[in-house]
Amino acid sequence: MDLLAENWIYLPAFVVVITVLVFVHEYGHYKIARLCGVKVDVFSIGFGKELFGWYDKNGCRWRISAIPFGGYVKFFGDAGVASNAREEDELNALSAEEKAVSFHHKKLWQRAAVVFAGPAANYLFAIVALCILYLTLGQAHTPAVVNEIVPQSAAEEAGLLPGDRITALDGEEISSFEELRQKVVVGLDEPILLDVNRGGELLELTITPKVVEFKDGSGNVQKIGQIGIRSTQREFREHGLGSALISAADQTWFVTTATLKGAWQMITAPATPPN
């Protein structure tokens, strides 16, 4: 009961975050729909009973609803908030003027663009948010310097030693362990060529990460690559606009690929026999 009470303090923050994400997502649908000439009847943040709202100059009802866990955009020609079409005879009965602004009478590429615009807006928002964070606070990272080697790990087998600085992965320069971790987590047990600076001496070492299985919070078995390096150092890297955008896009892409790879593992993993 105490744990539940403690977690209630995070609810307002969760509502704010989910509201922002929903607004960005639905605004992506809304904006591209308007550019494609689709009439939007309703733009709702939340579901259920309307708390308050207003009409814009295009006749769209902007509303804030009672249940703040989601939202929707309802286009002209929709039968409901899920953008399901009206019955075919109803759609055919629309006038020429109404068909011109109906979502379901638009060309396939226009309808596809409207549908794709929601997740695309969220994706771009993630990059912009990270970019602003990196510009204002800097990007936290761990320098690519080995502090400790885990016994019997891939790092020990490859010949890495405490104090080694890893400068490149497969010929691409790096400056942080986060970049190494991204390569290892997504690549699983794919061999990696490391460029290492050991007290001024430049070395090339090949390391093959070991695949480790663990169960996530839902009980699904996940696989990740591990090399067995520990570091306690922490630094903040300052960015200009260009480098902040590149780093933000790179981080967003990593999270995307790692998430997709984890989802694929859950789909393809063999079923665990009951105990």
Mean pLDDT of 186-199: 83
**164 close to 180: Cβ distance less than 8 angstroms:** no
User: Helix, strand or coil for residue 194?
Assistant: strand
Overall average pLDDT of the 160-168 stretch: 89
- The pLDDT value recorded for residue 69 is 83
Task: List 47's β-bridge partners, or say none.
Answer: 67
Give the global pTM.
0.66
Tokens 């990196």, residue located: 134
57-71, 81-95, 98-112, 166-180: the lowest-pLDDT one: 81-95
Spatial strand order in the sheet of 172-173: 172-173, 165-169, 192-198, 201-207
Q: What is the pLDDT of residues 212-239, one digit of tens each?
A: 776 665 666 677 778 888 877 777 878 8
What pLDDT shows up at residue 1?
Answer: 46
Q: Any catalytic annotation for residue 26?
A: yes
The one catalytic residue among 6, 26, 50, 204 = 26
Hey, which CATH number is domain 141-237, 3.50.50.60, 2.30.42.10, 3.40.50.2000, 3.30.360.10?
2.30.42.10
| Contacts of 192-196 spanning 24+ positions with Cβ under 8 A | 193/169, 194/158, 194/160, 194/166, 194/168, 194/169, 195/166, 195/167, 195/168, 195/169, 195/171, 196/160, 196/164, 196/165, 196/166, 196/167
Domain ranges of the chain: 9-122, 141-237
